[in-house]
Amino acid sequence: MVPDPVRAFVRRHPNVRYATRCLRSHLPQVLGGLDATLLPPRVRSFDLVLPRREGGESLGPDLLSLSVPGDYWVPRRLQALGLAGYRPEIVSCFLSVLDYARPGAVLDIGSGVGLYSLLAAARSRRRVYAFEPTPDVAATAGAIAAANGLAVRVEETALSNHTGTGWLRLSAVSEASNSLTSGFRPELGRVEVRVDTASRWRERDNIVPSVLRIDTGPTEPDVIAGALEILRRFRPWIMCGVVPDHGVEERLMALLEPLDYSWHHLCGPPPYPAGTTITASRTPRERTWLFAPEAPEPAFWENVRLWGDALKTCTPNA
């Protein structure tokens, strides 16, 4: 049995993790060995084709060059599927929100390697802030943005409903499912991270947020609770993940109803009608909702459709 501190150390350091897996590839599987043919590369390097909407402004690069630890889940999916196959309903709606939200900054909360931050920096003129508390993942996000000349400020901070520090549980599933919540995913260890509220951070940096994307496991209601001043004052558009089995749906509705937000489930082809309740799907691709500060007009949904058409060309072999 490997002690949890050792697991956590290996999980936090990509080079150690890779070396450990190489050693395990020489062991019998009954002793914890790994199939050498299934080992991810030490570094995964590839180009990601970006969409351009018909009739849209010509901004940013046509593709991104990514070089990341080989076992990261999101880059692995992006390399295999391109943006055409990686949650196109969500990506197209996010790009349309960038077009329609009032002037202001993008806060990508729980950014991971920064896919949505990179899209915002490449396809808008907005200031972009990526909040990712996992040290090595935050460093990767910053390195990708810098390598592609995109202005993304990475904050190695977890946003929640309080300030101080907290324990980030390192997921055994993927780098994309680390969480402040104990038991959300099987854990390989934990690391102490800085915790802040979006409202306090905004006040210190004097930022006007107009777009929030929140993907923090089951703590999305805590992020919203810590951003209530922002929602009241600036009425940002919000894209938010909703996971099952943690009471996230009820807490989100209780927070958003007094603020007169509508909620739209991003599932299937647009338009997405306003729902009467927020529900959580067990299918990861169907867990994202749009929280709108005003009723989206037909032109907004048509813009989502146009971005969706543009994404169809963003295949791995494009």
Q: Give the model confidence (pLDDT) of 206-239 as tens digits.
A: 999 999 999 998 999 999 999 999 999 999 999 9
Domain ranges of the chain: 1-39, 41-311
Residue 106 CB-half CA count within 13 A: 32
- What end-to-end distance do the CA atoms of the chain give, in Å? 46
- Name the token pair of 293: 């500060």
pLDDT (tens digit per residue) in 12-54: 555 555 445 544 444 555 545 545 545 678 899 999 999 999 8
CA angle 239, 91, 280 (to 5 degrees): 45
For 171-175, what is the mean pLDDT?
Answer: 88
Q: Cα(293)–Cα(298) distance, rounded to whole angstroms?
A: 15
Residue 107, pLDDT > 50, answer: yes
pLDDT (tens digit per residue) in 246-258: 999 999 999 999 9
Residue 261 CB-half CA count within 13 A: 27
Residue 294, pLDDT > 90, answer: yes
Contacts of 153 (CB under 8 A, 6+ apart): 127, 128, 129, 130
For 268-275, what is the mean pLDDT?
Answer: 96
Any idea which of 37-41, 153-157, 266-270 has the lowest mean pLDDT? 37-41
With pLDDT > 90 as the criterion, what percentage of the chain qualifies?
A: 77
For 109-114, what is the mean pLDDT?
Answer: 97
Identify the residue with better confidence: 58 or 239. 239
Side chain identity at residue 202, one-letter code: R
41-311 is classed CATH 3.40.50.2020: no
pLDDT value at residue 116:
98
pLDDT value at residue 26:
43
Q: Is 188 helix (H, G, I), strand (E, B) or coil?
A: strand
Is residue 158 within 8 A of residue 222, CB to CB? The reply is: no
Q: What is the pTM of this model?
A: 0.88
Look-up of token digits 């929280």 = 291
